[in-house]
Amino acid sequence: MSTQSHSARAKDAVALLTADHSKVKQLFTEYEKQQNIGDISLKADLALQICLELTIHTTIEEEIFYPAVRTETGDRKMVEEAIQEHAEAKELIARIQGLAGDDPDLDGTVALLRRAIEHHVSEEESEMFPKARESGADLTALCEQLQERKEQLEHDMSAAPLRAGTREARGERSAIGQADS
- For residue 136, the model assigns a pLDDT of 87
Lowest mean pLDDT of 81-85, 87-91, 126-130, 162-166, name the range: 162-166
CA dist 72 and 75 (Å) reads 8
- For residue 162, the model assigns a pLDDT of 56
pLDDT band of residue 181 (cuts 50, 70, 90) is: very low
Q: For residue 61, how many other CB atoms are within 10 A of its CB? A: 22
Q: What domains are there in the chain, each with its CATH number?
A: 13-158 (1.20.120)
Q: What SS3 class is residue 75?
A: coil
What global pTM score does this model have? 0.83
Whether 170 has a pLDDT exceeding 60, the answer reads: no
Contact 132, 13 (CB under 8 A): yes
Lowest mean pLDDT of 4-13, 34-43, 94-103, 152-161, name the range: 4-13
CA dist 64 and 69 (Å) reads 9
Give the whole-number percent of the chain exceeding pLDDT 70.
82
Q: For residue 131, how many other CB atoms are within 10 A of its CB? A: 15
Give pLDDT tens digits for 7-54: 345 689 999 999 999 999 999 999 999 988 878 889 999 999 999 999
Q: For residue 78, how many other CB atoms are within 10 A of its CB? A: 18
Tell me which residue of 17, 19, 25, 99 sits closest to 58, measured CA to CA.
17
- For residue 174, the model assigns a pLDDT of 36
- For residue 39, the model assigns a pLDDT of 81
Spell out the alpha helix ranges (H) of 38-105: 40-60, 66-73, 76-97
Query: Which uninterrupted H or E stretch holds 34?
Result: helix 13-37
Q: What SS3 class is residue 74?
A: coil
Give pLDDT tens digits for 54-93: 999 999 999 999 999 999 999 999 999 999 999 999 999 9
- For residue 171, the model assigns a pLDDT of 39
Tell me which residue of 49, 59, 61 sits closest to 24, measured CA to CA.
49
CA dist 138 and 129 (Å) reads 13
**Mean of the per-residue pLDDT values for the chain?**
86
CA dist 28 and 69 (Å) reads 28
CA dist 131 and 94 (Å) reads 31
Phi, psi of 172 (to 5 degrees): -75, 130
pLDDT band of residue 163 (cuts 50, 70, 90) is: low
Cβ-based burial of 95 (10 A; exposed 0-12, middle 13-18, buried ≥19):
middle
Whether 173 has a pLDDT exceeding 50, the answer reads: no
